[in-house]
Amino acid sequence: MEKSIGLTFTIVGFTVTLLGAALAATCTPTSTGFCNPTPFSGVGVAAAFMGGALFLVGLILVLKKEAGFFRTASPGPPGAPTVVCQTCGKPLAWIPTANRWFCSKCDEYR
Ligand SMILES: [Zn+2]
């Protein structure tokens, strides 16, 4: 669930950034050869920044989720006793980035 949200953020953020950049690049050619920014340019810049932020948040969400999946086989920090999930009994994986134990079966931090 959390993964699809992150993925949605990433895709929407990327799209908004592209649209914002396209809007920001729009201008009105003048007789002097200069390009006058249209009122859309400011909106485009704001949209591009917001899209970029959304993209980063989505990316972090996806990466955090992936890290949880890929590190389920991790034995944990050296010297630490094996910790099992109190709900399902499956050994928990230590997630250094989150500084918490993660149960891949329950899909939850412990
Ligand atoms: Zn569990």
pLDDT digits (tens, 9 = 90+) for 51-66: 999 999 999 988 887 7
Same domain, 61 and 8: yes
Domain that holds residue 109: 71-110
Same domain, 65 and 76: no
Instruction: Quote the mean pLDDT of the chain.
Output: 82
CA 69 to ligand 1 center in whole angstroms: 13
- How many domains does the structure of the chain reveal? 2
**At a CB cut-off of 8 Å and minimum separation 6, what does 46 contact?**
20
Which pTM value belongs to this model?
Answer: 0.49
Same domain, 85 and 37: no
Q: What are phi and psi of 14, to 5 degrees?
A: -65, -45
Res. 24: pLDDT tops 90: no
CA 108 to ligand 1 center in whole angstroms: 7
Same domain, 86 and 100: yes
Same domain, 32 and 75: no
Question: Taking ligand 1, which is a single-atom ion, which protein residues have CB atoms under 5 Å away?
Answer: 85, 87-88, 103, 105-106
Confidence of residue 2 (pLDDT cuts 50, 70, 90): low
Res. 80: pLDDT tops 80: no
Same domain, 65 and 93: no
